[in-house]
Chains A and B, each alone.
Chain A
Amino acid sequence: MSADSSEIPLVELRGVTKVYGQGQAAFQALRGVDITIRQGEFVAIMGPSGSGKSTAMNILGCLDVPTEGAYVFRGAHVEQLTRRQRALVRRHYLGFVFQGFNLLARTSAIENVELPLLYRGEPHGVRRRAALAALASVGLAGWEGHTPAELSGGQQQRVAIARALVSEPVLLLADEPTGNLDTQRGREVMELLASLNSEKGLTVVMVTHESDMARHAKRVVHFLDGLVERDHRNGGPH
């Protein structure tokens, strides 16, 4: 690995397990996962459905906590944080991109993009400037006033990426970001993510089941039955 070994990793999963349900109905989604991700990486998480990749993603995104094991985010133990503290980690350090875009309906692109800054308590002028800049950076300058219904799928996903970028996160988490898009739009979105990683040094973790899309990442982690099956660097287009 090219990263300096003395550098503190950005995120670190250590022996993470996750059990859903209790007793006989208990289901072990993760069985002891170790992953370390450093600043500036672009990681694709792959695996069949039920392999635990979404669970790992939820834990990385501070939406869920491990049943056992540790999740260290920038030196802080997330598994020990309260619900409120985890929300604040999401607010200040994370950006999310979802498969289904998850934009607020009947709400203009700019209001959608502004939302994270609103929760941060930024004043109106700052919000507006940052939201316009984020929209421009995903190639949607001039589309501020459009609602999701007036945008194509590719455009909606780019608005969602702008929303994730607007708060300048240290980690961007993308859950099947191309899953609802055709090949052409999907490739455009992937190229956008790849350029954010290579040009701005943004750390990106993405779940996907299309190896086509995973080729854009620098590193691919394969999940199988709640364990990391394979973790390798990508020759890919980069």
Chain B
Amino acid sequence: MLWNSVLLAVRAIRRNVLRSFLTILGVVIGVASVIVMVTLGDGATQSVKDQMQSLGANLLMVRPGMRMGPGRDAALSPNFKMADIEALAEQIGSVKAVVPTASAMVTVVYQAKNWQTTVTGSSAAYFQTNNWRLASGRFFTEAEERAGSAVCVIGSTVRRELYGAESPVGTTIRVKSFACDVAGLLESKGQGGFGMDADDMIVIPLRTLQRRVRGNDDVTGLQVAVKEDASIDAVIEQIKVLMRERRKITEGEDDNFTVFDTRQIADTMSSMVRTITMLLGSVAAISLLVGGIGIMNIMLVSVTERTREIGIRLAIGAVETEVLSQFLIEAVALSSFGGLIGIFSANAIALGVTRLIDVPFMFNPGMNLVSFFFSALIGVVFGYFPARRAAQLDPIEALRYE
């Protein structure tokens, strides 16, 4: 009997292909937008995590000023001094390494080509704490670092812009006004989130940067690598106490530096992205609901339009439950078919968009399955009322209906 109802439903759908398609369009769009939103959100979250992972675990960043980004008051927030590095390394127990950084925007030139990029001055430990790997050549050594040698390691974007396919190791480029030997090429970390290109940079010894580029001995940032088993929060507290002391901040006065925990940043960003994903997902879910109401509307119209047909069925000997199940199955078949189309097109769209904005495509089988069953459920919920109305028609009046 159920199989017969399925057969009848399928025949009824097939009889009017265009109307069936328009009926399910709402569900198609609803399901597709939910899946696209969530898939893109998952991808963005993963992208943030990957990016933060590439910064290295258990890494604290100390920066002058109270907040990140532009607008900090340089006069109130002096840069760090070389002595701060030693103080941190020696006086805080759980610190594995303290890596000073300073950076500047420079133009680098190789033969006829030039490229505007960021030059970071740091110590040899920088590569390790930031999870950089070599594609070819070598990092600069501690000896070169102490001597302030004109030697650099370049990112893959800089290599692409200046060298094309040519090997850069062993050549000399001009950084601002001095010639610099290229010792190594870094492995690409790929595009970070938010449009930042992690590979668009070169690294030189800090002393070289201070003398030849910036012309002062400022350190604009400190990276503190913490031992794996140490409590990050305790170390942050110790750094704050020590730096307040060294920067002569009196009690009651605010810090003029900030300590960032990369993991914490990653968590914050992930949860932010997740919130946005949920927000967009629920907007999309509303459109799914609207799609369901669309199905109910068309099914109601269809019941009215097919009154005579229902009359024929009842006269021929269909019982109420058979008419009810036929219409219900019609609604469920339509909506779940719409769900299927939605799922397929959503994954195709999501795949395309993730490629375009360069975030990983995260196929979520559970969510696809849930979307499918939800679309079927929409058919049951919004198909029941019209189906019951059809089943309860009076056969005589239904047959007389014009």
Contact = CB atoms under 8 A, between A and B. Distances in A.
Nearest to B392: A83
Interface in A106-139: 106-107, 111, 115-116, 118-121
Nearest to A64: B396
Given A98-B399, A105-B15, A90 B4 contact: no
B316 A119 contact: yes
Contact of B16 (A58, A84, A90, A106): A106
B20 to A, nearest CB: 12
A61 B311 CA distance: 13
Contacts of B313: 115, 119
Contact of B15 (A91, A96, A106, A116): A106
A63 interface: yes
A119 B315 contact: no
Nearest to A102: B312
Contacts of A83: 320
Contact of A119 (B15, B16, B322, B399): B322
Contacts of B395: 63
A3 interface: no
A88 B319 CA distance: 7
Contacts, number: 62
A193 B16 CA distance: 34
Nearest to A124: B7
A87 B11 contact: no
Contact of A92 (B11, B312, B315, B317): B317
B309 interface: yes
A63 B315 contact: yes
A88 B322 CA distance: 12
Contacts of B320: 83-84, 87
Contact of A118 (B4, B16, B309, B315): B4
Interface in B305-336: 308-309, 311-320, 322
B11 A119 contact: no
Nearest to B14: A106
B318 A121 contact: no
Nearest to B322: A119
Query: Most A CB atoms within 10 A — which of B4, B308, B319?
Result: B319
B8 A118 contact: yes
Contact of B399 (A90, A102, A116, A118): A102
Contacts of A102: 308, 311-312, 315, 399
Interface residues of B, number: 23
A104 interface: yes
Contacts of A103: 312
A20 B6 CA distance: 37
Contacts of A105: 15, 309
Nearest to A115: B316
A107 B15 contact: yes
A121 B319 contact: no
Interface in A66-97: 83-84, 87-88, 90-92, 94, 96
B205 to A, nearest CB: 82
A103 B15 CA distance: 13
Contacts of A92: 317
Contact of B318 (A61, A87, A98, A167): A87
B168 to A, nearest CB: 71
A91 B318 CA distance: 7
A58 B314 CA distance: 13
A87 B317 contact: yes
A115 B7 CA distance: 11
B1 interface: yes
Interface in B123-162: none
Given A58-B396, A88-B317, A104 B309 contact: yes
Nearest to A147: B15
Contacts of B15: 104-107
Contact of B7 (A61, A104, A118): A118
A64 B395 CA distance: 9
Interface in B356-391: none
A91 B316 CA distance: 6
Nearest to B4: A118
21 contacts: A58-B396, A61-B315, A63-B315, A63-B395, A63-B396, A87-B317, A87-B319, A87-B320, A90-B317, A91-B317, A91-B318, A92-B317, A96-B316, A102-B308, A102-B311, A102-B315, A104-B15, A118-B4, A119-B317, A119-B322, A163-B316
Given A102-B312, A111-B11, A121-B4, 13 more contacts: A58-B396, A63-B396, A84-B320, A90-B317, A92-B317, A96-B316, A102-B311, A104-B15, A107-B15, A115-B316, A118-B4, A118-B7, A120-B317
Interface of A: 58, 61, 63-64, 83-84, 87-88, 90-92, 94, 96, 98, 102-107, 111, 115-116, 118-121, 163, 167
Nearest first, the 6 closest Cβ-Cβ pairs linking A and B are A91-B317, A90-B317, A106-B15, A87-B319, A102-B312, A116-B316
